[in-house]
Amino acid sequence: MATPLPYLASNKNVPTLFEKIASAKVPDTFSQAFLANTIGLKGSNDRALIPLLRNLGFVDQSNTPTPAYRVLKGHERRRAIADGIRRAYGPLFDADQDAHKLPADRLKSLVAQVGGTDADTTARIASTFNALSKAADFDAEAIDIRNDTPDLGEVRHSDEDAVSVVAQNRVLPHALRPEFHYNIQIHLPANGDEETYLNIFNAIRKTFQ
C-alpha cells in the first residue's frame, strides 16, 4: 500500500525556517501570523511549513510547540532535525536505513516505491527530504558526548521532559577505584511555568534514587 510522504512546493526557505526558530522566542502557538511576522516568512508557499513542522514532530495537532521544538533552539538542533526526518519519513528509513545517504536517482526510486507517487510528486518529496537533510546531522548520536554536556531542553525528548545526565568514566588501573564525574547543567526555559520546573526537578530526583 502506498504511503503518503510530506513535501513542499518550494524548499528554498527551509534553512531560514530553522535559523529563525533558533533565535526567536518559543510561541504559544506556531500560527501563520507567527510564521509571517516573527519568523518573517510571508509567502503563500511558506504556509506549508507549519504542517511540515507538524509532520516532523515539532508542533502538535493544535500547532503548539512540543518539547522537541525547544531542542531546535540549542546546539543539538541538527540532531533534532534528523530525528524529525526519521519520524516524518519513517517508511523511507524502513525500506532503506541509509535513505539520507542515497544519490538523487536512487532516492527518487525509493520514494516512488514507498509512496507510489508519480514523477512530479516523487521529485517534490525527494527535494523536500534533501532540503531537510542538509539542515540535519544524522551522525550526531555517534559523537562522543563525554565532554559535551547537553543543556536541558536540548536533548531528545519523549512525551515527558527528560533530564540528561552525562557521566564521565575515567579508565584507571585495576587496583584503583574508578572515578565517576557527573556534570549536570540545567537551563530552565524562560517561559516555563511552576509545573514545568517541578517536573524538571522531579526528573532529577528520580534519576538519582
Q: Each residue of 145-200: pLDDT tens digit?
A: 333 333 434 333 333 333 333 333 333 344 444 444 455 666 666 666 666 767 77
- Can you give the three-state secondary structure of 175-199, one letter per residue? CCCCEEEEECCCCCCCCCCHHHHHH
- Indicate whether 150 and 100 sit together in one domain: no
- Residue 3 counted as domain residue: no
- Indicate whether 126 and 156 sit together in one domain: no
Which residues have C-beta within 8 Å of that of residue 57, sequence separation ≥ 6? 66, 68, 83, 84, 87, 88
- Indicate whether 35 and 108 sit together in one domain: yes
Confidence check: pLDDT of 100 > 60? yes
- Indicate whether 25 and 74 sit together in one domain: yes
Count of domains observed in the chain: 2
Last residue of a domain, one of 71, 104, 134: 134
Q: Alpha carbon 7 to chain centroid distance?
A: 17
Quote the domain boundaries for residue 203. 145-207
What is the number of other CB atoms lying within 10 angstroms of the CB of residue 77?
22
Q: Each residue of 7-66: pLDDT tens digit?
A: 999 999 999 999 999 999 999 999 999 999 999 999 999 999 999 999 999 999 999 999
d(CA 182, CA 168): 7
- Indicate whether 33 and 85 sit together in one domain: yes
pTM, rounded to two decimals: 0.66
- Indicate whether 185 and 107 sit together in one domain: no
Which residues have C-beta within 8 Å of that of residue 90, sequence separation ≥ 6? none
- Residue 63 counted as domain residue: yes
- Residue 200 counted as domain residue: yes
CA-nearest of 104, 53, 61, 105 to 81 is: 53
- Indicate whether 155 and 100 sit together in one domain: no
Q: Each residue of 123-152: pLDDT tens digit?
A: 999 999 999 999 999 987 533 333 333 343
